[in-house]
Amino acid sequence: MGYDAALIYLQGLCRFGMNFGLGRITELLRRLGDPHRRLRVIHIGGTNGKGSTTAMVAAILQAAGYRVGAFTSPHLSSYTERYVINGEPIGEGRLADLIWALRPVLEAMVREGWEHPTEFEVCTAVAFLYFLEEGVDFLVLEVGLGGAIDSTNVVRPLVVVITNVSLDHMEYLGHTVEEIARVKAGIVKEHVPVVTGAQGAALEVIAEVAREKAAPLYLLGRDVTWRPVSFSLEGQVFDLAGLRGHYEGLRLPLVGRHQLANAAAAVAAVELLAMAGHAAVTDRAIREGLARTSWPGRFEVVSREPLVILDGAHNHEGVRYLREALAQYLPERDVILVIGMLGDKEREKVAGELAPTARAVVVTRPNSPRAGAWAELAEVVRPHCPAVEVIENPWRAVCRALEMAGPRDAVVVTGSLYTVGEVRQRFLENRAAATKDR
The full DSSP string for 305-350 is TTEEEE----SHHHHHHHHHHHHHH-TT-EEEEEE---TTS-HHHH
Model pTM greater than 0.85? yes
Whether 286 and 324 share a structural domain: no
Whether 87 and 191 share a structural domain: yes
Containing domain of residue 170, as a range?
3-292
Whether 308 and 172 share a structural domain: no
Q: At residue 170, does pLDDT exceed 80?
A: no
Whether 373 and 256 share a structural domain: no
Domain count, the chain: 2
Domain boundary among the residues 292, 309, 329 is at 292
Whether 189 and 318 share a structural domain: no
- For residue 146, what pLDDT is reported? 79
Nearest alpha carbon to residue 266 among 229, 299, 291: 291
Whether 305 and 278 share a structural domain: no
Whether 73 and 214 share a structural domain: yes
Whether 192 and 332 share a structural domain: no
Q: Compute the mean pLDDT over every residue in the chain, rounded to the nearest whole number.
A: 92
Domain boundary among the residues 260, 292, 324 is at 292
Lowest-pLDDT choice from 26-30, 83-87, 137-141, 309-313: 309-313
Q: At residue 17, does pLDDT exceed 80?
A: no
Measured between alpha carbons, how far is residue 273 from residues 140, 141, 157 in Å?
12, 15, 11
Q: What is the mean pLDDT of residues 234-251?
A: 96
Band (pLDDT 50/70/90 cuts) for residue 171 is: low
Whether 158 and 32 share a structural domain: yes
Highest mean pLDDT among 160-174, 223-237, 318-332, 336-350: 223-237
Whether 258 and 312 share a structural domain: no
Q: What is the mean pLDDT of residues 73-91?
A: 95
Lowest-pLDDT choice from 129-143, 275-289, 410-424: 410-424
* pLDDT one-digit tens code per residue, 278-297: 999 999 999 999 999 999 99
Q: At residue 212, does pLDDT exceed 80?
A: yes
Q: At residue 24, does pLDDT exceed 60?
A: yes
- For residue 166, what pLDDT is reported? 80
Q: What is the mean pLDDT of residues 195-206?
A: 96
Give CA–CA dist 3/391, Å, rounded: 32
Lowest-pLDDT choice from 144-153, 155-164, 251-260: 144-153
Peptide bond into 216 cis (omega under 30): no
More reliable by pLDDT, 434 or 312: 312
Q: At residue 349, does pLDDT exceed 70?
A: yes
Q: At residue 100, does pLDDT exceed 80?
A: yes
Whether 167 and 312 share a structural domain: no
CATH number at residue 382: 3.90.190.20
Cβ(308)–Cβ(410) below 8 Å:
yes
Q: At residue 119, does pLDDT exceed 70?
A: yes
CATH number at residue 159: 3.40.1190.10
Radius of gyration for the alpha carbons in the chain, expressed in angstroms and rounded: 21
Band (pLDDT 50/70/90 cuts) for residue 342 is: confident
Q: At residue 225, does pLDDT exceed 60?
A: yes
Whether 278 and 315 share a structural domain: no
Q: What is the mean pLDDT of residues 242-248?
A: 95
Q: What percent of the chain lies above the pLDDT cut of 70?
A: 95
Band (pLDDT 50/70/90 cuts) for residue 343 is: confident
Residue 108 CA to its chain's centroid (Å): 33
Q: At residue 246, does pLDDT exceed 70?
A: yes
- For residue 121, what pLDDT is reported? 96
Give CA–CA dist 199/205, Å, rounded: 10
Cβ(244)–Cβ(275) below 8 Å:
yes
- For residue 13, what pLDDT is reported? 87
Measured between alpha carbons, how far is residue 105 from residues 27, 29, 216 in Å?
10, 10, 39
List helix spans (H) across 13-49: 23-31
- For residue 169, what pLDDT is reported? 59
More reliable by pLDDT, 65 or 245: 65
- For residue 438, what pLDDT is reported? 56
Domain boundary among the residues 261, 292, 323 is at 292
